[in-house]
Amino acid sequence: PCQTPKGTCLESVKIAIDTGYRHIDGAFVYFNEHEVGQAIREKIAEGRIKREDIFYCGKLWNTCHPPELVRPTLEKTLKILQLDYVDLYIIELPMAFKPGDAIYPKDENGKFIYHETDLCATWEAMEACKDAGLVKSIGVSNFNRRQLEMILNKPGLKHKPVSNQVECHPYFTQPKLLEFCRQHDIVIVGYSPLGTSRDETWVNVSSPPLLKDSVLNAIGKKYNKTAAQIALRFNIQRGVVVIPKSFNPQRIRENFQIFDFSLTEKEMKEIEALNKNVRYVELLM
Ligand code: A2P
């Protein structure tokens, strides 16, 4: 996995909080949760924010799906963050890898070693973490409709997923999943809302760069905004939460300047029509 240069994440999160960001999307597998936690704690100590102003999302990795591993894994994240709860904890992917120290366990032929687990049992362990107060809300990520239905239809369901984090941007607008989630009061959190960093090790770069799109740029000109700001505004205006990633102070601030204008219905339709139904993040595993 690509790892952030030491200290970059700490600085970026502090700048983000100063800018006004409150929702921070993290994960154990980003290997920078200690820096995120430190940034949050420093900003609380400075008196700039209170813990309850922050909305931190953590993620349960594929090697930790067996129900007995769920709580210890969340506790490990809390220890790394040095926080006593997270606001949201989500199952990062709907399939499991073999438990152990290897984040991407592979066999001698280089093939991923999967692990048979029952997503519903994993979900029940997530519910127990909420009941224990370690997390305020629980959700999922990269789940399709059938996987969501499996949880929603689980006998004895105690807490339903509040959100589903999936790839979502003007080239991959997710109309069907969005409609399904709306019907079930599940918030869509859109990752890669700017079309990713185009890192060829995990991105399908045969799909064209989102931010070069002529429609997004033309609409941007009208409002004196960038294509990035138009892409973000498009999603929030249709009720999709966005989690843009940037380690650049100027772009961190730019991505927050999206609350002082709105797109017309015609522009929203024009942007919706850009949908290519092609993912940048194929998650071939
Ligand atoms: P950087 O960290 O140097 O700003 P996504 O959120 O879709 O995953 O996209 C992240 C990528 O987009 C990163 O490479 C990030 O680089 C870049 N990026 C973030 N904000 C902007 C922006 N406002 N304009 C152009 N590129 C951006």
How much is the mean pLDDT over the chain?
A: 97
pLDDT, tens digit, 9 for 90 and up, residues 166-175: 999 999 999 9
Pocket (CB within 6 angstroms of ligand 1): 192-197, 211, 226, 228, 244-248, 251, 254-255
Residue 184 assigned as binding residue: no
Here the tokens at position 276 are: 């290519």
pLDDT per residue as tens digits for the range 14-39: 999 999 999 999 999 999 999 999 99
pLDDT reading at 1 higher than 90? no
Report yes or no on 3 lying in a domain. Answer: no
Q: Is residue 280 part of a domain?
A: no
Inter-axis angle of helices 227-237 and 265-272, to 10 degrees? 100
CB contact at 8 A, 270 and 219: yes
120: containing domain = 8-273
Residue 281 lies inside a defined structural domain of this protein? no
- Sign for the pseudo-dihedral over CA of 279, 25, 4, 229: positive
- Provide the pLDDT confidence category of residue 191 given band limits of 50, 70 and 90: very high
- 183 domain-assigned: yes
Per-residue pLDDT of 175-189, as tens digits, reads 999 999 999 999 999
Closest residue to atom 14 of ligand 1, CA basis: 197
The reported pLDDT for the residue numbered 245 is 97
The number of folded domains in the chain is 1
104: domain CATH number? 3.20.20.100
Q: Is 24 inside any structural domain?
A: yes
Is 267 inside any structural domain? yes
Residue nearest to atom 21 of ligand 1 (CA): 251
Q: In the structure, what pLDDT confidence band is assigned to residue 6 with cuts at 50, 70 and 90?
A: confident
Q: How far, in Å, from the CA of 14 to the mean position of ligand 1?
A: 17
State the distance from the centre of ligand 1 to the C-alpha of 131, rounded, in angstroms.
37
The 3-state DSSP class for residue 51 equals helix
Q: Is residue 284 part of a domain?
A: no
Average pLDDT over residues 54-72: 98
**Both structure tokens of 194:** 């700017």
Q: Which residue of the set 30, 89, 191, 280 is catalytic? A: 30
| pLDDT, position 27 | 97
Is 100 inside any structural domain? yes
